Amino acid sequence: MQRFPPRRILAAVDLSETSLRAWRAARQVAERFGASLEAVYCDNPPPSDLAVYDSPEISAAMRKRVMDALRRRLGPHERLHAVKGEPERVLLRLVREGGFDLLVMGTHHRSGAARFLLGSVAESVVRDCPCPVLVVPAPWRAVRRVLAPINEADYARKSLLAAGLVARAYKARLTVLHVVTDPIFGSNPRKLLSQRLSELPEAVRRDTRPQTEVRQFEPEREILRACRGQDLVVLAAHRKSLLGDWMLGTTAQRILRHSRIAVLTIPSARR
C-alpha cells in the first residue's frame, strides 16, 4: 500500500481545532491530487467510575451530538464515520482495510502530559502505518517550500520522490538537505545529492528546480533548523527492530515531536 500521489485519503477528526486544521490540510491535498477524502471520528471515551456514563443511551446521545457538530464543521456532504476504539488501533485498521494511500492527523505543541499523549499517538501511528502519514502541528498554509532531508540509505529515495511529487503538484520550491554526521570519514555529500537528484523524474526536476544544502553533525537539530522558512518537510519513517518490537527511527521520532511545520512521513520497509 505505497501508492503516491494518493488516490484515497483518510483524515482523523474530532471537535478540537487541532484536528480541524488537519482536516483543512487533507481537503486541500485531496483537491490538489484529485483524491477521494473520508473522515473518521474515533469514539474512545475515557473510563469512568460513574455508572451513568456507561449507559448505552447516554453514550449514543453523546456520540450523536459530536457527529452532528462535526458535520456542521466539515460540511454536510463529507463522508464521515464514527468508530469506537483507541485511535491508534482504529486508524491503522481502517487504513489497512480501506486501502487508503494517505492518513492525515493533527497534533500540537504543548508541555507535559498533553504533549506526550498527542505525540505518542502520532508516533505510534507513523511507526506502524503502511501508508504515508501527514502530521499537521500548526495552521495549514499554502505549500510554497518543501524540504526533503535525505541520507545514503535506499529508503531515502522514496521520501525524496514523494517530496518532489508534492512540490511539483503545488508548484513549490524543493530543497534537498543532507546532513553529514562524520565530515572526515563520511561520503561525498555533493556527489550523493547529485546522484539522488538525477534519479528523480525529469518532469519533477524541471518543474521544481531543486536546490541542495549540506549541513554537518546532528541530523535532528539541523533538519529542524532547516525547517524554518519551509512549509512542509518530507522524510522517511525508517523502522527498525529492537528485541522483536518495531521502533521508529530516532530522527523521524524527534522531528515529529518538535517540528513546527507539517511533516509527511513515507514508510520504509521493515528490516
Strand partners, 214: 178
Closest to 1 in 3D by CA, of 99, 94, 98, 91? 99
Residues 175-229 have pLDDT tens digits of 999 999 877 656 689 999 999 999 999 999 999 999 999 999 899 999 999 999 9
- Taking the domains of the chain in order of start, what are their residue ranges? 8-134, 145-267
Residue range 16-45, pLDDT digits in tens: 888 889 999 999 999 999 999 999 999 876
Q: Do domains 8-134 and 145-267 have the same CATH topology?
A: yes
CATH code linked to domain 145-267: 3.40.50.620
Q: Does domain 8-134 have CATH number 3.30.1450.10?
A: no
Amino acid sitting at position 255: I
pLDDT at 184 (0 to 100): 63
142 confidence band (pLDDT: 50, 70, 90): confident
Which grid coordinates are listed for 221? 537539530
* Least confident window among 73-77, 99-103, 257-261: 73-77
pLDDT of 117 = 41
Angstrom distance (rounded) from CA 255 to CA 148: 13
Summarize pLDDT for 41-97 with one digit per residue, the tens: 998 765 554 444 555 666 777 888 888 888 988 887 789 999 989 999 999 999 999
CB 220, CB 211: distance < 8 Å: no
